[in-house]
Chains A and B, each alone.
Chain A
Amino acid sequence: MISAPYLEVAVLVLGTVILLIESFSSKLDRRYLGYAALVGLAVIFLTTFFVAPQSTMSSAPFWNFYSADATSLFFKRIALATTAGVIVMMLDFAPLVSSGIQGATPQSGLGEFFILPLFTCAGLMWMSSAIDFVLIFVSLELVTISFYVLVGFTRRNPVSLEAAVKYLVLSAVATGFLVYGITWIFGATGETNLQKITTVLSRPGLEQDAALFGGVLVIIALGFKIAAVPFHIWVADVYQGAPTPVTAYLSVGSKAAGFIVLLRVLGPFLILPQMQTLLVAIAVLTLIYGNLAALPQTNVKRLLAYSSIAHAGYLLVAVVSFSGRAVAFYLVAYLLMTLLSFAVLIIVSQPAGDQLESFAGLSQRSPFLAFAMLVAMASLAGVPFTAGFLGKFLVFDAAIATHHFGLVVVAIVTVGAGFYYYFKVVRAIYWDAPPSTTDKIIVSPLTRAVLIALIAGTFVLGVYPQPIFDALR
């Protein structure tokens, strides 16, 4: 049996090796680095199934920081799968990376483009295992710093640059909140380990207000990561400006890691009722804002940005209802449908741009891509027999079981709004006439295979969720 911490080490080694190959072989077609990264990630993904979940904490001090339970393994797999999907998208996106640079060869800058996600992936995997504020902070920074570079990767493009600066500034603010919050909690409890904080907090006669204040600061920082309202200001611009594969990565990987940390951090603070009220308020705001702001969008990338805020709202409903099962399943469903929609968007938008009009008449230009987008939109909207619906079903079930009827009423309205803006894309694909250029769109075999896998996953999890539940046990 392999011990869980070796997984992150393997990802780091993979990234470093590919980085070294990139530095010392100038003639190599950089896309092979992408394929190498994919193979490596696939091997590590398979390896996770041979890692025994370690529930009992061993005496070594390392295990005070690091947990290898079933949940963290599960989220490690999400991180690996997301990263692999993102690298496939990057291979499709590669021609655009160097497009803005004067006198660039087609290979310019591609190497790092495929390597940086590996380091992000290692950070995400550590986050899913972190049970101590120190490790949470360090891994979060690893993720964020590699994202700084990725968001601004097409640096000659002013929109991308603007996105990178916004992300940098607001991310730094969030980090400030996180550190400040950790300090307050440490000051009040004298601990950084989440389990020990739980014990200390339940002790009578403790100054709870200070710890609570720290907890609120931490939640603000995490709210930034998961794009919850009112910490969402950066989302639309950064998502629109970043290279599309990076947008997909931000909206899936970053969010998944944010939610696992949120679930773990909330553990100690559950005993404080004020936290519950705060989270309900954030969930309501996120649901309403995300869905309403998505309504008028005509840029598909921006629409998906707001939809990602909206889905953070549904996830928060599950968090408030303390249903780890619903959160995990919803994240998997969200991963499938978001990667699917971004993958289609990258292919469709290459000649025509991100506007909704470039989807017009897609059903005639490429029935396969049209169907893939239909499945993605149906799943995001929550049509049954897709993973997105089962996720919503679990969220509603959890909310009703814990009597959060106010949240349920808000969610009903926002789901209705969601149907409107997701079906706007479907309408463009199937109703509208294609523009004058009706060339067929070519899809590479690798992308086609990934799209088919994502579609199949969306349908299979829509009726057969048991594998996810088994993995969480």
Chain B
Amino acid sequence: MLLLLVTFTPIVAAILIMIGFPARLTALAASLLTLIISAIMFLQFNALSGFQFGITFPISSELQLNFALGVDGLSLLMILLGAIVLVAAVWFAGEIEHHENAFYACLLLIAGAAIGAFASLNLFFFYAFHELALIPTFLLIGIWGTGNRRAAAWKVTIYLALGSIILLVGLIMLYRAVPASARSLDFRILQAGQIPPSLQSNIYIVLLIGFGILISLVPFHTWAPEAYACAPAPAAMLHAGVLKKFGLYGLLRLALPLLPEGARQWSGLLLVLLLANIIYIGLVTIAQRRLDWMLGYSSVMHMGYIFLGIASANILGTTGAAILMFAHGLSIALLFGITGEIRKRVPSLDFDAMGGLAKAMPFAAFAFGLGVFAAIGLPGFANFAAEIMVVFGAFRNGFDYQHFHIFQWATLLALWGVVISAVYMLRAYRRTFFGSSPESELVITDIRSGFRVPIALLVAVSLLLGFFPQIAVNRLMPTFRNYFSATQ
């Protein structure tokens, strides 16, 4: 019941807003309700007893189609992330110049789509909920975006639609590869060890490409920086922070446990691609000359670490990947949110045209600094705890490749990414907030006190998880142990 409420609160609120309820008030109320319920669920969750808060409505016996919701540790963590970022995004949205109700409805639909996908236990609805975000994203970027917004909206929509349809084919192949007796669209029935190893390789690569496009895995990443740079800040927060995690979630939830042989066969390619994400995109990020583009590329780059955790295919690495998904969602939402506030105040986000903002916006400077430290992975933030687990997990790896196999080399190379991200993040921070301000007559005010609440929320959760990662680890470990014990 709680889960049903969490899934449908944002969607129902979006519909209510479209038929005339006060936009901002309804959106805030709905997002806070979502956050409270998902927090209650997170606290009530018993890590050891599989899927919980389950609810099932049969739809079609012929298609074996049920509307089934339920959560394990992984999906619960993602739902909590969605709720937190939703609150922050709605809060940051503030006043919208035109069509305020449509703007808030689109935001709520994106979050509802992500939460619905994380809560679904049925392949059909898992996929369908995610695609629900497609049209709202198209409208949000195209109507309320900045810069070259129409081209960006066009590109992201076509790219993600194509990625989704490849993913759909992959999911159907997965479902069809299971012997007819055990075939089901239900996650709880789709068990490991049923798909013959000879079929796994093809399915895995289709899924990797489909999910990879949604996650912006190199070379399918070109939609992401542009879309995030042009999107209105709340849309970028939700998309980069939450919706993009759908692909990673899918790989962790479906590809790894069901296709262990496929994962092993393609681990070399995945390592090469994720290193490209970390090193190549990292270098591209350093070259960026605008704050919004820099953040867009940095979010692509950080996907590489999460992929590293997935590639490791062991409990430690995947747990780290899941926590990193959560931590990255918080930090990138914080950075995009503050950037959106800066965008409202300065004529250009070009590094050359900015500087010295710390004097006028001390709180923004402080909060952005925390976001930068979190993104780099400084100890104390959740990102640090997660990256440590990912790196150790990848070094050990689940395939028992020892003695400086490609896995160990990839891990060592990936560590250099930390240096790269420190370079671009700190440089952006310095050029935005310090140094001499260009002569301008603008009177710049700091972030107003009401908007400090979502910043505090994001930072507090990140710090909490940074100091007490076991809150998440305790809930995730049993889930992943289930996945991998069934594999062996």
List the interface of chain A (C-beta within 8 A of B). 325, 374, 378, 381-385, 389, 393, 396-397, 400-401, 408, 412, 415-416, 419-420, 423, 426-427, 430-431, 463-466, 469
Are the CB atoms of A384 and B127 closer together than 8 Å?
Answer: yes
A400 touches B172 (CB 8 A): yes
Of the residues B131, B143, B172, contact of A384 by C-beta under 8 Å: B131
* Residue contact B150 to A423, C-beta cutoff 8 Å: no
B contacts with A: majority SS: helix
* Total chain B interface residues with beta-carbon distance under 8 A: 32
Residues of B within 8 A of A465 (CB): 59-60, 63, 65
Q: Mark B89-130, 1 if CB is under 8 A from A, else 0.
A: 000000000000000000000000000000000001001110
- Interchain nearest-CB distance for B404 vs A (Å): 39
Contacts of B33 in A (CB 8 A): none
A325 to B166, CA, bound (A): 23
Give Cα distance in the complex from A426 to B172, angstroms.
29
Complex Cα spacing A378 to B136, Å: 12
Q: Is B471 an interface residue (CB 8 A)?
A: no
CB pair B62–A385 under 8 Å, yes or no, is: no
Asked whether, in the complex, the Cβ of B60 is within 8 Å of the Cβ of A466, the reply is: yes
Indicate if the CB atoms of B161 and A416 lie closer than 8 Å.
Answer: yes
A374 with B135: in contact, given A396-B172, A415-B165, A465-B60 (CB under 8 Å)?
A: yes
Q: How far is the CA of A421 from the CA of B346 in the complex (A)?
A: 37
Name the B residues within 8 Å of A466 (CB-CB). Answer: 59-62
CB of B423 within 8 A of chain A?
no
The answer to the question of B158 belonging to the interface, with a C-beta cut-off of 8 Å to chain A, is yes
How many whole Å from A369's CB to the nearest CB in chain B? 15
Tell me if B188 counts as interface (CB < 8 A to partner A). no
**Is the pair B161, A385 in contact by a Cβ cutoff of 8 Å?**
no
- Kindly state the separation between the CA atoms of A177 and B135 in the bound complex, as whole angstroms: 45
CA distance A412 to B143 in the complex (A): 28
Contact with A along B49-65 (1 / 0, CB 8 A): 00000000001111101
Smallest Cβ distance from A235 to chain B, in angstroms? 25
Complex Cα spacing A464 to B158, Å: 27
B residues within 8 A CB of A401? Answer: 176
- With A401-B176, A408-B169 in contact, is A389–B162 under 8 Å at CB? no
B168 in contact (CB, < 8 A):
yes
Contact in complex: B59, A400 (CB < 8 Å): no
When chains A and B are docked, how far (Å) is the Cα of A381 from the Cα of B164? 12
- B378 at interface by CB-CB < 8 Å: no
Q: Which of B277-318 contact A (CB under 8 A)?
A: none
Residues of A within 8 A of B173 (CB): 400
Q: Which 4 residue pairs spanning A and B have beta carbons closest together?
A: A384-B128, A416-B162, A419-B161, A384-B131
Query: Is B132 interfacial (CB-CB < 8 Å)?
Result: yes
Name 19 A/B residue pairs within 8 A (Cβ), A-sorted.
A374-B135, A383-B134, A384-B129, A384-B131, A389-B131, A393-B172, A396-B169, A397-B176, A412-B166, A415-B165, A419-B162, A423-B138, A423-B154, A426-B138, A427-B150, A431-B142, A431-B150, A465-B63, A469-B62
Q: Is the pair B165, A416 in contact by a Cβ cutoff of 8 Å? A: yes
Looking at the assembled complex, report how far the CB atom of B17 sits from the nearest CB atom of chain A, in whole angstroms.
13
Given contacts A401-B176, A466-B59, contact A419 B142 (CB under 8 A): no
Provide the residues of chain B in CB contact with A431, threshold 8 Å: 142-143, 150
- B window 377-421: CB within 8 A of A: none
Contacts of B131 in A (CB 8 A): 383-384, 389
Chain A residue with minimal CB distance to B166?
A412
Complex Cα gap A152–B67 (Å)? 48
Are A384 and B60 in contact, with the CB atoms below 8 A?
Answer: no
| Docked pose: A465 CA to B169 CA in angstroms | 20
Residues on the B chain within 8 Å of A374, using CB: 135
* Given contact pairs A378-B135, A423-B157, A426-B135, A396 touches B63 in the complex (Cβ within 8 A): no
B60: A residues at CB distance < 8 A:
464-466, 469
B162 lies within 8 A of A412 (CB): yes
Is the pair A416, B158 in contact by a Cβ cutoff of 8 Å? Answer: yes
Produce 1/0 per residue, B156-196, CB < 8 A to A: 01100110011011001100100000000000000000000
Whether B142 contacts A427 by the Cβ 8 Å rule is yes
Nearest-neighbour CB distance to chain B for A120, whole angstroms, equals: 32
Nearest chain-A residue to B99 (Cβ)?
A363
Q: Contacts of B129 on A, CB cut-off 8 Å?
A: 384
CB closest chain-B residue, reference A378: B135
Q: Can you name the residue of chain A whose Cβ is closest to the Cβ of B177?
A: A400
B12 at the interface (CB under 8 A from A): no
Inter-chain contact A385/B169, CB cutoff 8 Å: no
Known: A393-B124, A415-B165. 6 other contacts (CB 8 A): A382-B165, A416-B158, A416-B162, A426-B135, A430-B139, A430-B143
- B59/A463 in contact, CB under 8 A: yes
Minimal Cβ-Cβ distance residue in B for A325: B62
Residues of B close to A383: CB separation below 8 A: 131-132, 134-135
Q: Are B165 and A385 interface neighbours, CB within 8 A?
A: no
* Shortest Cβ gap from B395 to chain A (Å): 37
Instruction: Tell me the nearest residue of chain B to A465, going by C-beta.
Output: B60
A472 to chain B, nearest CB (A): 10
Q: How far does the Cβ of B273 sit from chain A's closest Cβ, in whole Å?
A: 21
B59 with A412: CB separation less than 8 A: no
Distance in angstroms between the alpha carbons of A381 and B157 in the assembled complex? 12
Identity of the chain A residue whose Cβ is nearest the Cβ of B165 in the assembled complex: A415
User: Of B67, B134, B161, B168, which is within 8 A of A393 by CB?
Assistant: B168
Name the distance in Å between A16's Cβ and chain B's nearest Cβ: 41
- Cβ A384 vs Cβ B150 within 8 A: no
Nearest CB on A from B253, distance (A): 18
What residues of chain B lie closer than 8 Å to A415, measured between beta carbons? Answer: 161-162, 165
A193 CB → nearest B CB, Å:
31
**Docked complex Cα distance between A419 and B134 (Å):** 11
Residue on B with the closest CB to A427?
B142
In the assembled complex, the Cα of A419 lies from the Cα of B154 at a distance in Å of 10
CB distance from A467 to the nearest CB of B (A): 10
User: Bound complex: CA of A325 vs CA of B165, how far in Å?
Assistant: 21
In the assembled complex, the Cα of A408 lies from the Cα of B138 at a distance in Å of 26
| A400 vs B162: C-alpha distance when bound (angstroms) | 18
Q: How far is the CA of A124 from the CA of B124 in the complex (A)?
A: 34
Neighbouring B residues of A393 by C-beta, 8 Å: 124, 168, 172
How many Å from the CB of B151 to the closest CB on chain A?
Answer: 12
Determine the chain A residues whose CB is within 8 A of the CB of B63 once the complex forms: 465, 469
Which chain B positions have C-beta within 8 A of A412? 162, 165-166, 169
Using Cβ atoms and an 8 Å threshold, which residues of chain A touch B142?
Answer: 427, 430-431
Q: How far is the CA of A383 from the CA of B132 in the complex (A)?
A: 7
The closest CB in chain B to the CB of A397 belongs to B172
The distance from the CB of B137 to the nearest CB of chain A, in whole angstroms, is 12
Query: Chain B's nearest CB lies how many Å from the CB of A389?
Result: 7
